[in-house]
C-alpha cells in the first residue's frame, strides 16, 4: 500500500522540477544566442579584382620543382611495412 506524500514534500518536488526545467530552457537560450552571434559574418561587398585572381604564378607562389624521392616511404624506413621499390629480394617460392 502506498503512503500518501505530505503536501510540503510534493510542493518541494514541483519546485525542484520547475527550477530544472527553467535551467534547461536558460541553457538552450544561451547556446542559441552564442551560435547566432558566432554565425554572423560580414557579407562580401566587392568581387575580387582580376589582377589578384590571375596573378597566381608570381615567384612567391611558384613551388620548387618536384624531385623524385626514392625514400618517400616513411613506413618502410621505420621497418613497419615492406618497401614497394625493393628489388633485391628473391620472390618467395611456393610451398609444396
pLDDT at 16: 97
The x, y and z cell numbers of residue 26, run together, are: 536558460
pLDDT at 37: 83
**Within 4-96, where are the H helices?**
7-39, 50-54, 74-78
C-alpha angle 88-89-93 in degrees, rounded to nearest 5: 150
Q: Are 65 and 59 in contact (CB under 8 A)?
A: no
Read off the pLDDT band of 11 (50, 70, 90): very high
Read off the pLDDT band of 15 (50, 70, 90): very high
Global pTM reads 0.39
Digit-coded pLDDT (tens) for 37-87 = 877 766 666 776 766 666 666 556 555 555 555 567 888 888 888 877 755
pLDDT at 91: 59
Amino acid at each position: 500500500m502506498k503512503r500518501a506524500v505530505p503536501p510540503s514534500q510534493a510542493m518541494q518536488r514541483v519546485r525542484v522540477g520547475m527550477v530544472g526545467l527553467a535551467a534547461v530552457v536558460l541553457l538552450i537560450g544561451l547556446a542559441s544566442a552564442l551560435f547566432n552571434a558566432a554565425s554572423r559574418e560580414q557579407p562580401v561587398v566587392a568581387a575580387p579584382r582580376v589582377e589578384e585572381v590571375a596573378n597566381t604564378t608570381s615567384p612567391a607562389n611558384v613551388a620548387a620543382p618536384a624531385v623524385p624521392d626514392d625514400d618517400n616511404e616513411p613506413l618502410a624506413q621505420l621497418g613497419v611495412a615492406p618497401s614497394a621499390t625493393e628489388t633485391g629480394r628473391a620472390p618467395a617460392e611456393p610451398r609444396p
